[in-house]
Structures are given as C-alpha cells and as structure tokens.
Amino acid sequence: MAQDLEQRHGMIWHHEQVLGFELAKQLIQKPKISLWMMMLPLLFLFFMQDIKRYKTGINNFANDFLKNKKTALDLAFNAVLDGTTIEAALADFAAENRPASADQPLYEAQRREIACLAAHYKRLLTTRGDTYEKALKNAYSSFGEFQRYLDTLFERENEVIQIALRINPPQEDARGVVQEMQNALRRMRQGERDRVFKPVQPNSGN
C-alpha cells in the first residue's frame, strides 16, 4: 500500500513538474544563437551567459509555480497514508504555518488554493490507473466534472495572484506577464482535458 502510494505520488509530482517547466519555457524567451556569435568568441561568451540566466530563470519560475502544488500533494499523500481527511491535514498545516497578521489575506488565499489542489491530488492517489492520464480519467466521472475542477482551481490561483499584486504593486508590464501566464496555463490544462476526456461530438448524420 505505502509503496504503491509513493509511486503514485511520484507520478503526480512528475506531471506537475513537466507542466511547471513547460509553462516557464513558454513565458521566458530562450536566447538565439547567430552566425556572428560563432565567428566572434566574445559574442559567444555573452550568449552563454544569457543561456545560463535563461536556465536559472526557468528553474526559479518553475520552482515558485510548483511550491503550493508540492505542499498540497504532500498533504494529500500524508492524509491518505494516515487514513485522515484533507480537512484535518489542512488544519494541522494551518496551525504550523500561520503568518503574521499583515500576511493573513494572502495566506488564507493560498490555503484555499492548497485545499483545492489537495482534494484533487487525493482523488488521483486513491483511484485506479497506471498512468497519470488513466488515473485522471478514473478520478473524474466526466469532461464536465473535470472542467468544474479546473474552473475552481483557476479562481483559487487567481485570488492568490491578485492579492499578491495588491500587496506588492508591480510595474504595468508585469501585469501583462501575469495575464500571459494565466492564458498559457489555461490553454495547457484545457489541452490535457481534451486529450483525456475527448468530449463527445454531436452526431451530424441522419
């Protein structure tokens, strides 16, 4: 039981990491090499420095994006392992991680996001399926049910983002990047939804 649960935990975490790094690659432009760089060693050195910064940016973005996902997945894993509820696991987490009062709105929004994710992960940890896609399809009864989860998750993630933006107002172009990130993430999740659940097309025949 515990070994199977650990394998499922690893399968889900791998999926989330792939999603996080793919999202980062869509948002962060990779430097392009030119013929001049190949001909002039100094330019090539600058290019390699840009590549290093690009890789660092990818890793930093993905790790920040995945932070709440990892917390939620570990909460769900421990809840299943201990035979307790997500609510009890969240209560223990809240007791250990309650912030200063100034951070309370952001903390509460993050807690709601983690609760949404943890309930989703618990479904995946306790359903049949030897691949992520099979587990996802078995965890949700229909295209519509999974879409409702995606809508709720988007609301929870957006709530965290908007509160964070109010606390630390960014440059105007940063808001554009946030919007671009949300649009890209929504496209990626909807693409996965369509691959896994393949909505039934209406019959256009006689």
What would the pLDDT profile of 100-149 be if each residue is shown by its tens digit?
665 688 888 999 999 999 999 999 999 999 999 999 999 998 999 999 99
Question: Which residues neighbour 65 within 8 Å (Cβ) at sequence distance 6 or greater?
Answer: 20, 23, 24
SS3 content of the chain, % helix, strand, coil (to 5): 80, 0, 20
pLDDT (0 to 100) of residue 151: 96
3-class secondary structure, 81: helix
First-last CA distance in the chain = 51
- Segments in the chain below pLDDT 50: 31, 35-40, 42-47, 206
Output the pLDDT for position 199.
Answer: 61
How many helices and strands (H and E) does the chain possess?
8, 0
Neighbours of 160 (CB within 10 A): 20
Contact present, 79 and 85 (Cβ < 8 Å): yes
Quote the pLDDT of residue 35.
47
Tell me, what's the pLDDT at 58?
62
Long-range contacts: 11-15, Cβ < 8 Å, 24+?
11/131, 11/132, 11/135, 12/73, 12/121, 12/124, 12/125, 12/132, 12/135, 13/70, 13/73, 14/132, 15/132
Q: How far apart are CA 76 and CA 82, in angstroms?
A: 10
What's the pLDDT at 163?
A: 86
Residue 54: which H helix or E strand, with range? Answer: helix 41-82
Residue 102: per-residue pLDDT: 54
